Amino acid sequence: EVQLVESGGGLVQPGGSLRLSCVASGFTFSSYWMSWVRQAPGKGLEWVANIKEDGSEKYSVDSVKGRFTISRDNAKNSLYLQMNSLRAEDTAVYYCARGKSTSYWGQGTPVTVSS
């Protein structure tokens, strides 16, 4: 059974940093692109970033470029999102998802940026 478990969310002040993690199981992690998608409170879904199987290609939405970094550790079946210079508009539930087409999703980890 495919499982994706996110962690690392929490309350952070504007300008602060957080590192989200996602541990995968039930499939060969190193064979899939991985994605992060977020959902602001009461809002729709927004794709954030994705990373190729071997980490050699990374892409992100313009609003997080230069602030967020996606990475992975295939030996640990783990996906990460380093979030720096956080803004109030980054407040959302962050989901880890398998593949470019996001075939499976985790339960999400909430991030709140507020003073």
Partner 1 sequence: DVVMTQSPLSLPVTLGQPASISCRSSQSLLHSDGNTYLNWFQQRPGQSPRRLIYKVSNGDSGVPDRFSGSGSGTDFTLKISRVEAEDVGVYYCMQGTHWPPFTFGQGTKLEIK
Query: Cα–Cα distance between 69 and 82 in angstroms, integer?
Result: 5
Q: Does 11 bind partner 1 (CB under 8 A)?
A: no
Select 15 or 26, whichever has its Cβ closest to partner 1. Answer: 26
Residues 59-78 close enough to bind partner 1 by CB under 8 A: 59-62
Which of the ranges 17-25, 43-51, 75-83, 84-92 carries the binding residues for partner 1, by CB under 8 A? 43-51
- Least distance between partner 1 and beta carbon 108 (Å): 6
Residue matched to tokens 């909430």: 110
Distances (CA, A) of 36 to 4, 7, 89, 115: 11, 13, 16, 25
Which of the ranges 18-26, 39-47, 69-77, 83-91 carries the binding residues for partner 1, by CB under 8 A? 39-47
Which of the ranges 12-20, 37-45, 66-74, 80-88 carries the binding residues for partner 1, by CB under 8 A? 37-45
Contacts of 66 (CB under 8 A, 6+ apart): none
Query: Cα–Cα distance between 13 and 16 in angstroms, integer?
Result: 5
Query: Cα–Cα distance between 76 and 89 in angstroms, integer?
Result: 31
Among 23, 84, 105, 110, binds partner 1 (CB under 8 A): 105
